[in-house]
Structure 1
Amino acid sequence: MTIKKTIKKLESLYLESPEKFFTMYLNTDPADPDQQGGEWRIHLKNGLNRFEKYLDTEDNKDELKKFQQVKKAVKDFFKENELDLKKSVIIIATPDEFVYSDILQIPVETEFFWEEIAKVDQLVRLHQEYPKAGVILTQKEAIRLVETELGKLIDTVVYELDLDTEDWRKHPAVNRNHTSAGANAGKSINLREQFIARFEENRKRWYKSITPMLDKLAKDREWEYIYLVGPHEETHELKELMNKPINACIDKNMLDEHHDKVIKAVHDL
């Protein structure tokens, strides 16, 4: 489910006392000057204890019991995931279950809520800033797709052109090696130069054969933004051939870069 659909679902939910929604946005960014000593642990402890103390003072035993169920589940979550924390954690939970939870590589403002509704204001803002996007990276006969949402990787795949059949073949990961060492190095370089010349002659025709698949993928995966990354001539050729609107082009070769670097590049635009 996309974050857009998740938000819509969360906005439709409502609970009545003694059951309520616990909503937490917690800054766990180790690079944040305010988090150098792992201060998120203190913020988490204080946030949980504040609600517990308030409910105990109000002598609301039923609601206190429900909150304590949530508190235990949240503490268990951090015990299990502490080594995997990044910049932030979002949890939206009821006494019975986690309705939504995620560990993210994007910043949030620390907030805690215990209310009849899930507080999704920050989640809405994050979705606006980091929507579901498809990044299409090109470099000659290889096209790599990086799908991202809320600043994290969802999926990545590579398509390479089979020069014998002139078909694009799908690969699970980047595994490309166009140079060789030793006695055959000169021959390999010469073959590569011949291929580049052939590619430039046939680029439009070869790209035209893959763009219908890219358009369909963008529709099926519900990409809200599409970015093209690669040499200027290639990205702008693809842009002209695709039916889906392209939000931005980055004229830079990043085909073999780590997906985190690719995602950062499009969000820095």
Structure 2
Amino acid sequence: MSLSEELQKLKEFKCDSRCVLSVYLNTNPADPEQQNGAWKIHLKNGLKRIYEYLEASQDEKEIKAYKKLKEKVTKEIENNQNDLNKGVVIFASLDPELWSVHYVQVQVKTSFHWEDHPVVEEMEYMLKAYPEAGIILTSFGDVRILDTAMGFVNDEKTYEFDSGLEVWKEQQSVRSSLQRGSGGGQSDGLDDRLRENLERFYKELGVTVEKMRKERDWKELYVVGEAELANSFAKTLRTKPNNCIYKNLNNVESKKVLHQVFEK
């Protein structure tokens, strides 16, 4: 299920009375306000305030359900405290049952809600800013495909290019010659053959990308690489990518790639 589909199900979720705990927690270690694990205090205080409010209402059914969810949410986050990203979003209910947990790589504003439905407005905003998207990183040697949503890489695949030419290993200057579109004599023929093989590789991979776009419900698609290679790959796609970014990021860490694509 894609994140958009899950969000839609959350929007349709409803209780007869208040039964859903929605938690947005900022755990960003780079945030000055989150130094020394300050999120632990914010989590404890936020959950405590709701409990105190319920105690005042003296609704035993709500209090009992909330105490169980409070314990479950606290345990979930504490058990994963060594792997926290920028934020955590949780939607939880006992009856009807709901348990939806998201560790995200985008900024989260801490808040806690106890309602008859999941409070999803902030999550909608985050998904709009960082939608389900495919990022295609092109290069001569290989192509990386990143499946992303809300600033997080869900999956990553790498496809290596086999030139199909036995002389490739002996031609140290072929790559730069191909990218410059220059050369002379025998290397011109070699460049043409390499270019044809590369374009065939891109065309086959373009079919794979279109299939992934449909299966993973990508709302956006970006092609990244040196101009000639990025444009060559973009031409293989049935639908125009949202943007072509002319930078060689193929050896760059995934989360830094996301920053270059979405925040620049």
Q: Give the TM-score taking structure 2 as reference length.
A: 0.86
Q: 1:33 to 1:200 in 2, by over 3 A?
A: same
By how many angstroms is 1:197 displaced? Answer: 6.0
Shift of 1:190: 5.0
Q: In the TM superposition, what is the alpha-carbon distance from 1:240 to its structure 2 partner?
A: 2.2
Asked whether 1:112 is paired with 2:112, we answer yes
> 1-side partners of 2:216 and 2:233: how far apart?
19
Q: Secondary structure at the match of 2:80?
A: helix
Which string of whole-angstrom CA distances, capped at 9 and with x for unpartnered residues, describes residues 165-204 of structure 1? 9xxxxxxxxxxxx99xxxxxxx562566666564235544
- Output the CA distance in 1 between the equivalents of 2:191 and 2:138: 14
Rounded Cα–Cα distance in structure 1 between residues aligned with 2:191 and 2:102: 44
Whole-Å separation in 1 of the counterparts to 2:191 and 2:216: 32
Give the SS at the match of 2:238.
Answer: coil
Counterparts of 1:205 and 1:40, CA distance in 2: 51
Counterpart AA for 1:83: N
One-letter amino acid matched to 2:255: D
Preserved contact between residue 134 and residue 226 of structure 1 (Cα < 8 Å): yes
5+ long unaligned stretches in structure 2: 178-186
The percent identity for this pair of structures is 33
C-alpha distance in structure 2 between counterparts of 1:155 and 1:207, whole Å: 20
Equivalent position SS for 2:102: strand
Task: Specify whether residues 196 and 6 from structure 1 end up closer, same or farther in structure 2 by C-alpha distance, changes over 3 A only.
Answer: same
* Contact 1:140 1:199 (C-alpha < 8 Å) held by counterparts: no
Computed over aligned residues only, the root mean square deviation of the Cα atoms, in angstroms, reads 2.4
Once the two structures are superposed, the pairs formed by residues 19-30 of structure 1 within 5 Å of their partners are 20-30=19-29
Distance verdict in 2 for CA 1:89–1:249, change over 3 Å: same
Query: What runs of 5+ residues in structure 1 fail to find an aligned partner?
Result: 166-177, 180-186
2:63 paired with 1:80 = no
1:221 aligns to what? Answer: 216
| Mapped contact 2:163–2:198 kept (Cα < 8 A) | no
Q: Give the equivalent residue in structure 2 for 1:183.
A: none
Cα contact 1:91–1:98 (8 A) shared by 2: no
Distance 1:120 1:245, change over 3 A: same
User: In the TM superposition, what is the alpha-carbon distance from 1:16 to its structure 2 partner?
Assistant: 2.3
CA distance in 2, matches of 1:79, 1:201: 54
Aligned to 1:135: 135
SS class of match (1:256) = coil
